[in-house]
Amino acid sequence: MAVDFKSVGIIGTGVIGSSWAAFYSSIGMEVKMYDLDDQCRRKGLERAINFIEGINTGGLISDREREDALSKLKTTKTIEEAAKNVDIIQESVAENYHVKHAVFKIVDSESEPETIILSSSSGLLMTEIQKAAHRPERCLIAHPFNPPHLVPLVELVPGEKTDGKILLRVKEFFEAVGKTPVILKKEVPGHIANRLSAALWREAVDIVLKGVADVEEVDKALRAGPGLRWALMGPHLTYHLGGGEGGIKHFIDHLGPAFETWLNDMAVWTKFPLESREILSEGVEKEIEGKSQSELAEWRDQKLIEIIKLLYK
């Protein structure tokens, strides 16, 4: 490994923190997990253990690695303990500046000066978050895609005060441990992947609200078509192939005008229409045919493991 981080403090052990804990321990790092709420901390540890069992059963880690990972997971009763003597801190608390500032202030003052502080924020700006730190140069966003113990993408977003060398060290680290880091050159709310997801979801919601198709049909159209290709290549490369010998230039010349007609007809709202909550909820209930959240998540994770083995191992 180019950069040898050996230990991590996880702050916030909810959906993302517990999955990060499973990932970091599965690559052999010592993990200290802290959550403000005792019950969340206990549940977070349980979830992390289950995630490790899942990747072992799925064949992503060996029995020895499983044992090693389980032995690396610890919880701490205070945030100070989790922030001390670790190479990196992965903050995964609530998505608002108030809470992020409170946490960054403490972990910045309690950690060693060389500890790197990463935020899982889905779309906040690091320039704003790092204002709470005395050493903002070692703070940056490392935004995972749920669940981070499986999905390779990590978006790295520096703030105005982040040291470029630290950003590159973090990128090298994630590459060395099998993640796919993507660096943003500029901060934007929602980074890359969530902005793309938001744009697509708005249109998916609008198609349902306009009565063009039901929730289930929209989901089916996406997963059985574009979704399959997107696991292999992004939209630009996909359309480059769609342009045949002339590539993306020909694609824009040939089908650009058609795309413009569709774009002219598409949703531009920036607030979810009032009725969307009920209509989408009814549609999803029909689509899942009584399956529980955990059944669905388990099925998703099993299939994800197969795709990851195919494309990333």
Ligand X SMILES: NC(=O)c1ccc[n+]([C@@H]2O[C@H](COP(=O)([O-])OP(=O)(O)OC[C@H]3O[C@@H](n4cnc5c(N)ncnc54)[C@H](O)[C@@H]3O)[C@@H](O)[C@H]2O)c1
Options 60, 103, 140, 208; binder of ligand X; rule CB under 6 A: 103
Q: Among the candidate windows 9-17, 56-64, 164-172, 207-215, which touches ligand X by CB under 6 A?
A: 9-17
Structure tokens at 77: 């009763």
Options 121, 156, 173, 251; binder of ligand X; rule CB under 6 A: 121
CA dist 10 and 72 (Å) reads 13
Residue 23, CA atoms < 13 Å, CB-side half-sphere = 25
Residue 53: which residues within 8 A CB-CB, separation 6 or more? 66
Q: Among the candidate windows 12-20, 52-60, 61-69, 157-165, which touches ligand X by CB under 6 A?
A: 12-20
Options 25, 120, 130, 162; binder of ligand X; rule CB under 6 A: 120
C-beta of 17 vs 159, nearer to ligand X = 17
What is the phi/psi pair of residue 260, to 5°?
Answer: -65, -40
**Distance in Å, CB of 107 to ligand X, minimum:** 9
Question: Among the residues of 157-292, which ranges form H helices?
Answer: 164-176, 193-209, 215-224, 226-230, 235-242, 247-265, 276-288
CA dist 145 and 19 (Å) reads 10
C-beta of 56 vs 92, nearer to ligand X = 92
**Number of residues in contact with ligand X under rule CB under 6 A:** 25
**Distance in Å, CB of 13 to ligand X, minimum:** 6
- Residue 181 Ramachandran class (φ > 0 left, ψ -120 to 50 alpha, else beta): beta
Q: Among the candidate windows 54-62, 90-98, 176-184, 250-258, which touches ligand X by CB under 6 A?
A: 90-98
CA proximity to 166, closest of 123, 124, 132, 135:
135
C-beta of 138 vs 143, nearer to ligand X = 143
Asked if 95 interacts with ligand X (CB under 6 A), we say yes
Are 158 and 164 within 8 A, CB to CB? yes
Asked if 9 interacts with ligand X (CB under 6 A), we say no
Asked if 102 interacts with ligand X (CB under 6 A), we say yes
Q: Among the candidate windows 116-124, 163-171, 212-220, 288-296, which touches ligand X by CB under 6 A?
A: 116-124
Binding site for ligand X (CB under 6 A): 11-17, 35-37, 40, 79, 92-95, 99, 102-103, 120-122, 143-144, 146
